[in-house]
Amino acid sequence: MGRVTSRHKVLRLDVGGDSSRVIDTVACEEPLEIRLGDEVFTVTMRTPGHDIDLAHGLLRAEGVISSREDVVSARFCSDLDTLNVLRLDVPGRDPSRAVTSTRNLASLGGCGLCGTTAVDAIENVVAAKPPETLWEPTQIVAALDELRSRQPVFDKTGGVHAAGLVPAGTSGLAIVREDIGRHNAVDKVLGAALVTDVDTRGALLVVSSRASFEIVQKAAVAGISVLACVSAPSSLAIEAADRLGVTLVAFARGSKMGVYTHDHRIPH
């Protein structure tokens, strides 16, 4: 899998039992510097691959772009030895419009902002509330089952998250991406949708992680109607989903799930 995985020696211990030295496959983690023109916009740690999708998804979530036409070109800096610096040209778009405080919150996991301030910032870049698309519980279960079946890097390493998108009025995951960062996996999916003209409004987004504030942010900006995560929601994720009109489903495992906000979209 190239730079997606790497192999390392490891001593495996069984307390009270045998020990052995083996070769383990692990998920790669490398920094990606995203530049808008000559200016550094941000640096994120990610699993290499689908980097242009990631950048489009991130810039859309931050309110810098709203369509693929806003990006004139995207290319890796050829004067460097690695593919870890990506330059995008976005003429006429002001990077200072980015939800900078939210981007810092997502990157650092906490800052001096209060939750209400963070949600306020997102409301400024959300064009409209998501459509009132209904998603049956069985559709959510099927999407999460398919997501798990389409995680080759996780199968090899156990060290990455995945996200998948089911557009409204369809069945099956149209796009699946994996990454060591749960928010990067979501950016890659939503960025790929933007680049390939897959409509995200009213869609179902499934994620193999907890439901965090930054994932709700990205879902809301993309017009996702239902966000379903396999693990727990945070308090700020619930507050944001409630205010931004996203149906938030968490602890979605097997046939069980909890619907924390806007449960009218889930027939029951």
Q: Is 213 annotated as a binding residue?
A: no
Model pLDDT, residue 11: 83
Cβ-based neighbour number of residue 81 at 10 Å: 5
For the annotated catalytic residues, the residue numbers are 111
Whether residue 158 is annotated as binding a ligand: the answer is: no
How many structural domains is the chain composed of?
A: 1
Q: Is residue 71 part of a domain?
A: no
pLDDT at 137: 95
- Residue 251 assigned as binding residue: yes
pTM above threshold 0.75: yes
Domain membership of residue 120 (yes or no) is no
Q: Which domain holds residue 213?
A: 137-265
User: What pLDDT does residue 97 have?
Assistant: 62
> What percentage of residues in the chain have a pLDDT greater than 70?
89
| pLDDT level of residue 83 (50, 70, 90 thresholds) | confident
Classify residue 95: in a domain, yes or no: no
User: What pLDDT is attached to residue 108?
Assistant: 35
Percent of the chain clearing pLDDT 90 (strictly above): 74
The predicted structure's pLDDT at residue 34: 93
Confirm or deny that 255 is annotated as ligand binding: yes
Residue 241 is assigned to a structural domain of this protein = yes
Element (H, E) at 249: strand 247-253
For 3, 62, 87, 145, 245, the CA distances from 242, given in Å and listed in that order, are 39, 19, 35, 26, 5
Is 243 known as a binding-site position? no
| pLDDT (tens digit per residue) in 122-163 | 887 887 899 999 999 999 999 999 999 999 999 999 999 999
pLDDT digits (tens, 9 = 90+) for 182-195: 999 999 999 999 99
* Residue 201 forms part of a structural domain: yes
Predicted confidence (pLDDT) per residue in 224-249, tens digit: 999 999 999 998 899 999 999 999 99
Contact status, residue 188 vs residue 50, Cβ threshold 8 Å = yes
Contact 260, 252 (CB under 8 A): no
Tell whether the model's pLDDT for residue 86 goes beyond 50: yes
Q: Is 206 within the bounds of a domain?
A: yes
198 is a domain residue: yes
Instruction: Flag whether 252 is marked binding.
Output: yes
**Residue 16 or residue 21, greater confidence:** 21
Q: Are strands 226-229 and 204-207 parallel, antiparallel or unpaired?
A: parallel
Q: Residue 81 — very low, low, confident or very high, per pLDDT cuts 50/70/90? A: low
Is residue 230 domain-resident?
A: yes
Distance CA 194, CA 266 (A): 26
The pLDDT of residue 78: 67
Instruction: Kindly tell me if the per-residue pLDDT of 100 is higher than 90.
Output: no
Structural contact between residues 165 and 219, judged by C-beta atoms closer than 8 angstroms:
no
Residue 205 belongs to a domain with what CATH number?
A: 3.40.140.10
pLDDT tier at 106 (50, 70, 90 boundaries)?
Answer: very low
